[in-house]
DNA sequence: ACAGCCATGTAACTTGTTACATGATTTT
DNA sequence: AAAATCATGTAACAAGTTACATGGCTGT
């Protein structure tokens, strides 16, 4: 839901045509997220379908402009005046992965953490040097790009910190004797004849 | 791409039927992410389509089991032994939003930041008290749930720190005179008669 | 002439997500 | 008997993403 809103926010500045929107988005986000041009036209179609934009007059060059509607303007304004609410909450693949991993008997969680930490540390370093080159922003574009890089940097740093933190958590848990490997739950099915199930009496594969 | 992989990792422990997979996923992630049952069956269909699982024998109760295939097992193993690579990189709605916001002339970025900070701080506090209740995990499930909560907590804290950080960035930029409001780019279109475009000579809407 | 960018699209596809239908079984 | 839960699905849709087709125009 962010490309949609971004295009809407840009269109709120004035009518644009598709190709232009791509460069506007690129320019305003430091070209951080490559955006396939085709996606612009898809999104425009969907925005038009939802009544948030409409086709406007062409210019002398024949470009096909889209203009924001009142509803679209309201939505853009709403987006910018309300907080990004992490509903759900954020389905972070890494968190899911590690939660699943600690519940699996045959997974070396410490190794998973190490592998990830190495990778994430690499990301941190890349982002750090990237940021250093973007040191002093001279334009609003540069500023925007810097913010994006630092956003990723902060997130990557938090990831590393978390990974290091959960290493101690795992140690604590192991010390407390919470290391029982966890097979599939053996809760008795309620339908039909109850059947105690473990990994060892599971139906043949 | 995380539900898919999670189900695969669970199925790697032994055959399961759809409904069971839901409770396994819930159990192993602290019921953090509500998972519509229908989605299990969708995902199973797609996994089967991709040759990663296949239908297995039913048990006495008539449950429809799915068993992982060799390809599926390889994929599950690959998932757990390689780092989550944030390709793209992560398209964070908040980062996009603020990047766009600073490039728009009529947006009070400070207010956007304040609103978000308030919201994110609230999230931090909720997660903190949630974590405190999950203090000492007694089971592997509890441990997994704790990891998930702390993952979100670390992320939310990083978000707050970033928001506070970019406040100073904005101040620096303002001091350096980089506050020029940014209209739509006026790069001359290459097709047809070049037309200088600004917000004020855009085609009528 | 030819390569490459500008520009607009279309079709197909991915994962995720919800709403709904249907029936069996279990609990109250 | 009614309500809740177990269990399996289907249909539709959202947003994102890619690959491709098709021209016109531009620079070499």
Q: How confident is the model at residue A129 (pLDDT cuts 50, 70, 90)?
A: very high
For residue B88, tell me if it sits in a domain. Answer: no
Closest residue to C26 measured CA to C1′: A190
Closest residue by Cα to the C1' atom of nucleotide D5?
A190
Q: Give a yes or no: residue B76 inside a domain.
A: yes
- The verdict on residue B87 lying in a domain is no
B2:A157 CB<8 A: no
Quick one: which of A23, A12, A27, A19 has its CA closest to A59?
A: A19
The set of strand D positions with any atom below 7 Å of a protein CB reads 5-12, 15-20, 23-26
What is the percentage of chain B residues whose pLDDT exceeds 70? Answer: 85
Peptide bond into A89 cis (omega under 30): yes
- Let me know: does B115 contact A82? Beta carbons within 8 Å: yes
Same domain, A76 and A98: no
Domains identified in chain A, total number: 2
Cβ contact A15–B203 (<8 Å): yes
Are both A106 and A171 inside the same structural domain?
A: yes
In a domain, B163, yes or no: yes
CATH number of the CATH domain containing B148: 1.10.287
Both B132 and B64 in one domain: the answer is no
Asked whether residue A36, judged by its CB, lies under 7 Å from any atom of the DNA or RNA strand D, the reply is yes
Lowest mean pLDDT among A12-21, A90-99, A153-162, B96-105: A90-99
In a domain, A189, yes or no: no
CA nearest B99 in A: which residue? A144
Do A20 and A48 sit in the same domain of this protein? yes
What is the SS3 assignment for A136? Answer: coil
Q: What is the mean pLDDT of residues A172-191?
A: 66
Instruction: State yes or no: pLDDT of B9 exceeds 70.
Output: yes
- Residue A204, pLDDT > 70, answer no
Strand C contacted by B36 CB (< 7 A):
yes
Residues A38 and A103 in one domain: no
Q: Which residues contact A142 (CB under 8 A, 6 or more apart)?
A: A30, A134, B178
Q: Quote the CA–CA distance of B139 and B141 in Å, as a whole number.
A: 5
The answer, yes or no, to whether residue A191 has pLDDT greater than 60, is no
In a domain? residue B116: yes
Domain residues for the domain of B155 are 93-175
CA/C1' separation A95–C7 (Å) = 42
The angle at the Cα of B145, spanning B141 to B148, to the nearest 5 degrees, equals 140
Closest residue to D25 (CA, C1′): B191
Average pLDDT, stretch A164-184? 83
**Averaged pLDDT for residues A18-37:** 93
Strand D contact at CB of residue B195, distance < 7 A: no
How far is the C-alpha of A201 from the C-alpha of A184, rounded, in Å? 11
Q: What distance in Å separates the CA atoms of residue B3 and residue B158, rounded to the nearest whole number?
A: 25
Per-residue pLDDT of A83-110, as tens digits, reads 997 766 677 899 999 999 999 998 999 9
CATH number, position A11: 1.10.10.10
| B100 and B26 fall within a common domain | no
Last residue of a domain, one of A81, A110, A127: A81
- Whether residues B99 and A148 touch (CB distance < 8 A) is answered with yes
């Amino acid at each position: 839901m962010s490309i949609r809103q971004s295009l809407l926010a840009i269109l709120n500045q004035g009518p644009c045509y598709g190709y232009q929107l791509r460069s506007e988005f690129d320019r305003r986000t430091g070209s951080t997220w490559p955006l396939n041009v085709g996606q612009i036209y898809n999104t425009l179609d969907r925005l038009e379908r939802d009544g948030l934009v409409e086709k406007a007059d062409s210019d002398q060059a024949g470009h096909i402009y889209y203009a924001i509607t009142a509803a679209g303007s309201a939505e853009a304004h709403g987006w910018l005046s309300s907080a990004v609410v992490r509903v759900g909450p954020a389905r972070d693949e890494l968190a899911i992965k590690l939660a699943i991993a600690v519940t699996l008997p045959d997974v070396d969680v410490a190794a998973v953490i190490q592998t990830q930490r190495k990778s994430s540390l690499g990301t941190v370093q890349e982002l750090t040097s990237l940021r250093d080159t973007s040191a002093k922003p001279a334009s609003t574009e540069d500023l925007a790009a810097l913010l994006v890089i630092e956003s990723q940097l902060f997130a990557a740093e938090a990831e590393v910190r978390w990974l290091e933190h959960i290493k101690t958590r795992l140690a604590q848990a192991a010390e407390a004797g919470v290391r029982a490997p966890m097979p599939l739950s053996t809760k008795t099915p309620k339908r039909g004849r109850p059947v105690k199930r473990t990994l060892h009496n599971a139906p043949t594969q």
